[in-house]
Amino acid sequence: MLEALPVLLYNSAVSGNCYKVRLLLAQLGLSYETVDVSVVDRSGREELLGELNPGLRVPTLVLDDGRPLGESNAILWYLGDGTSYVPEDAYERAQTLQWMFFEQYSHEPYIAVARFWIAYSESPEEFVGGRRERALKGGYAALDAMEGHLAERTFLVGETYTVADISLYAYTHVAHEGEFDLAPYPAIRVWLERVASQPGHVAIDA
């Protein structure tokens, strides 16, 4: 049982980090309002988010008691804890966090960044040379790690769909927008289909 319910989400429709939160909220059947925030034009963020999130980032979730919560994976953990989306077993809880940290440090900085520059920035021509090479190298290393782990597993942790899967699904399923080729990753592709078939699933553009 949540201590306080979500009521307002500062959100960007194209952000994978925001999509993580929207996906879990949909699967939990929780209703909320949204405030749209641009991922390109950051000029109004101080006024909009300054009192809610010191990092001025989305997603930022506001609870019904007025408290704000930032960082997508922290929000996933808050919403999912006490449900089937966060394991009860201590080791599996730690494994879930392991994959969520992996997403933020070894996956998102490469795959999400490449996607932003190529698909959404106003100057995609700047994503060249060493910058592009680093993103592709890091992104493919993350995909290699996921492929090896998922080759003999249904989901990332304990054969059960968890917030770890939501966390890594968000940017993996749109990795092609950052020019990552998923054809050599059959286990990832099957896992993506499996995640998309979960009850309550919504698309990123829903």
Q: How far apart are alpha carbons 190 and 51 in whole angstroms?
A: 42
Average pLDDT for 72-79: 98
Structure tokens at 19: 């999509």
pTM: 0.96
Other Cβ atoms closer than 10 A to 105? 10
Same domain as 101, residue 36? no
In order of 101, 143, 159, 201, the CA distances from 106 in angstroms are 8, 10, 22, 25
Asked if the structure places residue 206 within a domain, the reply is: no
Q: Are residues 50 and 147 in the same domain?
A: no
* Structural domain total, the chain: 2
Indicate if 59 and 154 belong to the same structural domain.
no
Whether pLDDT at 14 is above 90:
yes
55 and 122, same domain (yes or no) = no
Asked if 58 and 18 touch (Cβ cutoff 8 Å), the reply is yes
69 and 120 fall within a common domain: no
Which runs of E-coded beta strand occur in the chain? 6-11, 33-36, 60-63, 68-70
**Same-domain pairing of 26 and 107:** no
Same domain, 94 and 76: no
Confidence band, pLDDT 50/70/90 cuts, at residue 40: confident
Residues 101 and 165 grouped into a single domain: yes
Q: 185-195: per-residue pLDDT in tens?
A: 999 999 999 99
Q: Whole domain around residue 119: which residue ranges?
A: 90-196
Q: Are 55 and 30 in contact (CB under 8 A)?
A: no
Listed in sequence order, the DSSP H helices in 39-157 are: 45-49, 72-80, 90-102, 108-115, 129-150
Domain end (from 32, 61, 80) = 80
